[in-house]
Amino acid sequence: MRAEHRTTTAPPPQSGPGDATAVAHPNIALVKYWGKRDEQLVLPRVDSLSMTLDIYPTTTRVRLAPDADHDHVTLGGVPAEGEALRRVVSFLDLVRARAGRPLRAVVDSHNTVPTGAGLASSASGFAALAVAAAAAYGLDLDATAHSRLARRGSGSASRSIFAGFALWHAGPPTATPAQADLGSYAEPVPAPGLDPALVIAVVNAGPKAVSSREAMRRTVDTSPLYEPWALSSRDDLSEMRAALARADLDAVGEIAERNALGMHATMLAARPAVRYLAPATLTVLDSVLQLRRDGVSAYATMDAGPNVKVLCHRADADRVAHTLRGAAPGGPVLVAGPGRGARLLPEDTQ
């Protein structure tokens, strides 16, 4: 077990039926998931590909509560309410239905992303919840099944089940719901010889004006640029796989950058427009261009927010971080590398 999950007062978690603790990390997509074809099953319109990070894990404990008449959920020690609570309870309902066990649960989730870091936690959160809840309710799932299950909580969580690079298959488009569910999961993508870093410039950590769920829906429903982007995303994905296989960081970065800018173009063309990019985002993008002019392999990607993640060689990470700090003074700049997949704690029970 890693030191970050130990406390001096509490005994280490013991995962097993009835009580299980899991840890998972966030991931950043290099070919984006944007648009669902089935909201309930969380089936995407496009394949996507991401890198799981080695920073800011979420640790989640699920305990069955035989005497309880409702689920008790805390996030960072604070009782969950509203939409956050609803999403966790409906996820547990799914696990209960599969396990054939109606018992309620106590869920404690701790996310280590510092307040205001501006990094979404739904991927690490639902990946950790999927692994912990499946174990607590006695479901014996392999990584593919964990990925399918995590997908139902939040699409991008399907990829955080795996270490390093992961490809989430959209699945066959014309299948029945049951076949479509089975066909949509992530799997690891080997990238031997690639030693990348992702430098994250936080330009604004405030809450979003439009949730990514709503923005995705509106883009698919109203943006004339959505279908062309989704089509070109297929080429991005196959080129990305080839670039990863030959450890070509410049090609990986070029594809990631064009895919992300294209995704934001689809949102800008939505009606009404969704604009996550802020003036400071463009300043950071200019500094990434300047780094490239200076001979540094650095490529940007942005998700449903103004923060910029810059892919580079690990050896260049300090220089890139220094440049981004100058371009976006005030906001934190973080350096991440490829991280581990979701797993139960303690690891020696695996």
Q: Which residues bind ligand DP6 (CB under 6 A)?
A: 29, 32-34, 42, 48, 120, 122, 154-156, 212-213, 303-304
Nearer to ligand DP6, 179 or 211 (CB): 211
- Backbone phi, then psi, for 246, in 5-degree steps? -100, 10
- Closest to 155 (Cα-Cα) out of 87, 241, 253, 107: 87
DSSP element (H, E) containing 48: strand 48-52
Nearer to ligand DP6, 301 or 323 (CB): 301
Q: How far is the CB of 104 from ligand DP6 (least distance, A)?
A: 24
Nearer to ligand DP6, 240 or 304 (CB): 304
DSSP code, position 348: G
Report CA-CA distances (Å) from 16 to 127, 133, 216.
17, 10, 37
Q: How far is the CB of 274 from ligand DP6 (least distance, A)?
A: 11
Cβ atoms of 71 and 62 within 8 Å: the answer is: no
Q: Rounded to an integer, what distance in angstroms lies between the CA atom of residue 9 and that of residue 84?
A: 29
Q: How far is the CB of 335 from ligand DP6 (least distance, A)?
A: 20
Q: Rounded to an integer, what distance in angstroms lies between the CA atom of residue 59 and that of residue 298?
A: 31
Q: Rounded to an integer, what distance in angstroms lies between the CA atom of residue 188 and that of residue 164?
A: 7
- Tokens read off for 159: 């990829």
Q: Rounded to an integer, what distance in angstroms lies between the CA atom of residue 182 and that of residue 170?
A: 10
Nearer to ligand DP6, 249 or 304 (CB): 304
- Would you mind telling me the total number of residues written for the chain in this entry? 350
Q: How far is the CB of 91 from ligand DP6 (least distance, A)?
A: 11
- Tokens read off for 144: 């593919």
Q: How far is the CB of 27 from ligand DP6 (least distance, A)?
A: 7
Q: How far is the CB of 286 from ligand DP6 (least distance, A)?
A: 22
Cβ atoms of 301 and 329 within 8 Å: the answer is: no
Q: How far is the CB of 16 from ligand DP6 (least distance, A)?
A: 29
> Which amino acid is residue 133, in one-letter code?
A
Nearer to ligand DP6, 104 or 213 (CB): 213
Cβ atoms of 111 and 60 within 8 Å: the answer is: no
Q: How far is the CB of 304 from ligand DP6 (least distance, A)?
A: 4
Nearer to ligand DP6, 120 or 191 (CB): 120
Nearer to ligand DP6, 13 or 262 (CB): 262
Nearer to ligand DP6, 29 or 320 (CB): 29
Placement of tokens 């076949």 in the chain: 179
- Tokens read off for 333: 């700049």
Nearer to ligand DP6, 48 or 281 (CB): 48
> Which amino acid is residue 214, in one-letter code?
E
Q: How far is the CB of 102 from ligand DP6 (least distance, A)?
A: 26
180: number of Cβ within 10 Å: 18
